[in-house]
A = this chain, B = another copy of it.
Amino acid sequence: MSPPTHILRFVAVEDGRVHLGQLVDTTRDVGLDTLQGTPVKAYRIDGSIFDGEVTNDVLTAQHLLSPVSRAECNYIRCLGLNYKDHAQEANMALPEVPILFSKPHTALADPYPAVTPIPKCSQDGTSDYEAELCFVLKKSGRNISEEKALDYVLGYTCSNDVSARTLQMATTQWSYSKGLDGSCPIGPVLVTPAAIPDPQNLSIKAIYNGRVVQDGNTREMIFSIKQQIAYFSQGTTLEAGTIFLTGTPAGIGFFRQPRVILEDGGDMRVEIEGIGTLANKICYMDCCQGAWMQLLYHSTAKVYGWMSTKSTFVTVASTVASIVVCMN
């Protein structure tokens, strides 16, 4: 078969194991399909995300995972203020060089049904979204020219640069406030350059509780993906598996009138042309008066629940009915 173009990572219905797969119907938005309970089919990929080969065996995705795993990614590089309209709404001068902060790989998170967890330290009315085009490197390099930069790209997907604004504003450096656990969901599918030959002409939207709150196009980036790779590889080895978040267009919650906040139970989606929809429910964590419980539902799956009382975590697994509960 031909090389993969739409790569999923998922737990399979058939064997309960984690697999890579090539989406069977590449016209589907697997993020929306997963939300709506429509079965997602994929040809199993043997090998790694970097060198896998597509087989003829078809599996059913029970539970989508981030296309890149934590084990494959050591470092998440994020662009700040990389869209003109966002720099304007932030009342900041256009940057003369790309602005880099980072997230640890503990921030990496899966699409729905995984929630976006908001920890206690950012439950102050300033938890925020940033819809971003994400790309992943397929090979390591250093001092990469702009001309060769796209040869290093494995694929593109959606991401949300979840941000804790009060913590962000308290200091000049952003790597803590934007690096909380689960603050970097990516997915639902990694689309290779064969299917996205021009990453600088894609519609990108954030949709919160059904309302479009960001509506941009990647052509509005100040520094293109080529330029990002060339600039940040100066004197610096960019490793295969590195994830880049390429900046967000205007419309973040903090600057909206009235302000938009990621609230417990909220429905957050990032939609990018040619990729699909990254969906996550927002869940406020660690905020228990005694205990909190979260149950995640999967149509054909076991239910994984986490119960906590005074920091004692108990993992429970049982088969229950179709519910998503986030109790505080």
| Chain A interface residues toward B at CB < 8 A | 74-75, 77, 80, 95-102, 104-106, 119-122, 142-143, 164, 167, 170-176, 179-181, 232, 234-237, 239, 285-286, 311
Contact = CB atoms under 8 A, between A and B. Distances in A.
Given A80-B173, A120-B234, A143-B311, 7 more contacts: A74-B104, A74-B105, A75-B104, A97-B170, A179-B236, A180-B234, A181-B236
Nearest to A237: B106
A97 B175 CA distance: 13
Nearest to A164: B235
B171 A99 contact: yes
Contacts of A286: 143, 235
Given A96-B170, A99-B172, A170-B97, A235 B120 contact: yes
Contacts of A180: 234-236
Lowest 9 CB-CB distances: which A-B pairs, in order?
Answer: A119-B235, A121-B234, A100-B176, A180-B235, A75-B104, A106-B237, A102-B102, A97-B170, A101-B173
The dominant DSSP class at the A interface is: loop
B97 A171 contact: yes
Contacts of A176: 98, 100, 232, 236
Interface centre among A96, A105, A181, A236 (most CB of B within 10 A): A236
Contacts of A119: 143, 234-236
A150 B234 CA distance: 37
A105 B120 CA distance: 29
Given A106-B236, A239-B106, A175 B100 contact: yes
How many of these chains are in the complex? 2
Interface centre among A95, A171, A239 (most CB of B within 10 A): A171
Contacts of A96: 170
A243 B251 CA distance: 36
Contacts of A235: 119-122, 164, 180-181, 285-286
A74 B76 CA distance: 11
Contacts of A173: 80, 99-101, 173-175
A235 B77 CA distance: 20
A317 B300 CA distance: 58
Interface centre among A80, A98, A102, A311 (most CB of B within 10 A): A102
Contacts of A175: 77, 100-102, 173, 175
Contacts of A171: 95, 97-100
A234 B170 CA distance: 15
Nearest to A97: B170
A166 B8 CA distance: 41
A77 B106 CA distance: 13
A224 to B, nearest CB: 17
Contacts of A170: 96-97
Contacts of A232: 176
A74 B104 CA distance: 8
Contacts of A102: 101-102, 104, 175
